[in-house]
Structures are given as structure tokens and as C-alpha cells.
Structure 1
Amino acid sequence: MNPSNSLTLRPFKLSDADDILEYFSDDQVTKFLYMETITTKDEALAYITNVCMPLPYMSICINDRSIGGVSFNHEGHKAEIGYCLARKYWGQGIATQALKMAVKMVLKDFPEIVRLQALTDVENIGSQRVLEKAGFKNEGLLRKYTFIKGSIVDVFIYSFLYTDVTKA
């Protein structure tokens, strides 16, 4: 069975703590994220309570089991979108499909948003591919733009406009 056939997005639940601990304890998953690696179930529960539940943050699920997440921060006519996925699901098109689903959901639920944007570390080739396959356009390099894991890094900025929706 193709795992993407049962792919859904839903709000995070406290019962996702074990799944979150599984993928956010993987240094490869958190390498390019602003957050630190999660090492205990209590940290996973705190992350769900303090980050996932207050923000528009959806769990990427296969058969209702959390395998990653998609978040967005909404400000006026634009929103920044981010995502992560458990490493064992990398390279299967799941992140691309989840991102496309999230884009459609955000544009439907927030009609005032005309621009979605994403930042990705210049070394995160996999994320760049996901964004491009989901219809995002690379708008350029932001040099020494943000801190990740204590280092200031260059990032690419990608955008998806509401007029691009037929491509998603």
C-alpha cells in the first residue's frame, strides 16, 4: 500500500507525544529546524502544549499516526510555512503531498492570505526539492539571515502566491 494514500493533516493531540518524541529525537530531522532535539516524553508533551496547540500547526499523519508536522505563522496578507517529517518517510513524496494539502487548506481557510513563504537553509537540498515540487518559487538568497543551532546561516526564500493555486 502506498503510504501517501492514507495521508491526512489534523491538529496535534497530546496522544501524539510518543510519535513526536520518535521523530524530534532524531538529530537529522531537527538539523535545520530552529528547535532543539526533543529527548523526553515530557519535552514532547510540552512542545505539543506550548507550540503545536496554540499555533496553526497540523500533524502529518498516516492512518492517524503522526509522522511530522506543518506549521504556519499568519501576518496580514502573508504567512510563513514550515514542515518536518520523520526520517523513515523521507524521499517518498509524502512531504510534498502534505505541503500541497496544507497550502490548499491555508488558502481556503484564510482568504486574506495572498502569499505563503518558506525559508530553507542553503544546505537543505531535500527541503528545497519539496518546496519546488509543491509549486513554490525560489526568490533568492538571504545571506546571514537567521540563527539555527547557534550559527547564523544563509537561507533561500521560496514563495507560493494564491494565483499559483492551480499548480499545487
Structure 2
Amino acid sequence: MEDTQISLRVFDISEDFDDFMVWATDSKAARFCSWEPYTSKEDALNYLKETVVSHPWFRAICLGNRPIGAISVAPGSDNNRCRGELGYVLASKYWGQGIATRAVKMVIDSIFVEWPHLERLEALVDVENPGSQRVLEKAGFLREGVLRKYVIRKGKTRDVVMYSFLSTDSLAQL
């Protein structure tokens, strides 16, 4: 997969809705996400309008400028402005091609510049999601440990692995 084919950009609801529905309805892609696969176009459209448009840093992961997933950084609260939480999803047909890893590296390249107050980018990954753990490790994130019974996801308390990348870490070491 050539890096030049992969890009990140702001969602255009009118242009990107059908592509969004490809992964938003994909039960494999949604398995470890906080949301269930969308079954209603209206619910998906409301999510895009109410959450994505107003989100401070939410981008489409594009292959040839066509969205195949999404990546976001949620800012910490006022007391925790030094950190942001990374999240991403990719249509399952694109798994295992290095796209998510490249997208995460692209975020690292830009987020600390765009948000100079940010010192820590963190990601929480379900312990049963080794693919996402590999993505973060290949992108240079440090595995900090397992947080037991840390989140309730889809009605079940889950263990997650905490990963971090600091503004002082270097991509050059990869």
C-alpha cells in the first residue's frame, strides 16, 4: 500500500455519507467500538450532523480520497488539556494492509503541531483486539499496561490496554 494513496481529511456529509455507511454498518468494524453497527440511515446521518461536524478533530481515513474509515482525537477536559484520546475505525475489507498504522502515524505527525498544548496522545484498546494493539505498536505507541474492568462496552465490563505516544517521543526511532 503506497502512503501517497492514504490521506486524512474532514468529512463532507453530502459527499461521504454512502462511504461512511460501508463501515458504519460493518459488524466486524464496530465490534470493539462504543457504537453498534448502524441499521438506520437517519440515525447515521444524525450522528454525523450532531457528533462528527462539531468534533474538534475528526477525520476521514481516505484511500484515493474516498473514505474507508475514520480517526479522531478527543481532547482532555480543562484539567487534562495535556492529553487527547485517539480512536479509529476502518472498514474490515481494508484490515491488514497497513492503512490504520499509516493513518495513526499521520495523526502523530500533525496533532502535536495543531494542538501545541498536547503532551500525550493515548489510546485504549480492548484486550481481545490484537490487530488494533499491533497498529499502535507499529506506529510507535508504548504499551503501558492493562486497565482491568475499565470500560462498559456494549453492556459488558471490559479490560483495556492503555497505549501512549508523547510529544517528546520520536517517530524516527521506528
User: Fold-level match, TM-score > 0.5?
Assistant: yes
Question: So what's the TM-score if we normalise by structure 1?
Answer: 0.95
Counterpart AA for 1:5: T
2:122 pairs, out of 107, 117, 120, with 117
Deviation at 1:20, TM superposition (A): 1.2
**Secondary structure of the equivalent of 1:135?**
coil
Deviation at 1:3, TM superposition (A): 5.4
| 1:1-168 equivalences in 2 (<5 Å) | 2=1, 4-14=3-13, 15-55=15-55, 56-75=57-76, 76-167=81-172
Identity over the aligned pairs, expressed in percent? 44
| Distance apart, 1:74 and its partner CA | 1.1
SS at match of 1:112: coil
Matches of 1:3 and 1:134 in 2, distance apart?
16
How far apart, CA to CA, are the structure 1 residues paired with 2:25 and 2:131?
A: 19
Task: Pick closer, same or farther for the CA change 1:3–1:21 going to 2, 3 Å.
Answer: farther
Q: Residue type of the partner of 1:64? A: N
With the length of structure 2 as denominator, give the TM-score of the two structures.
Answer: 0.91
- Matches of 2:75 and 2:60, distance apart in 1: 18
Is the CA contact (8 Å cut-off) linking 2:62 and 2:68 kept in structure 1?
yes
Query: What one-letter code is carried by the residue in structure 1 that aligns with 2:98?
Result: G
> Which segments of 5 or more consecutive residues in structure 1 lack a partner in the other structure?
none
Q: 1:4: how far off?
A: 3.9
Aligned-partner Cα distance in 2 for 1:19–1:42: 15
Pairwise CA RMSD: 1.3
**Secondary structure at 2:87 match in 1:** strand
Unaligned runs of 5+ in 2: none
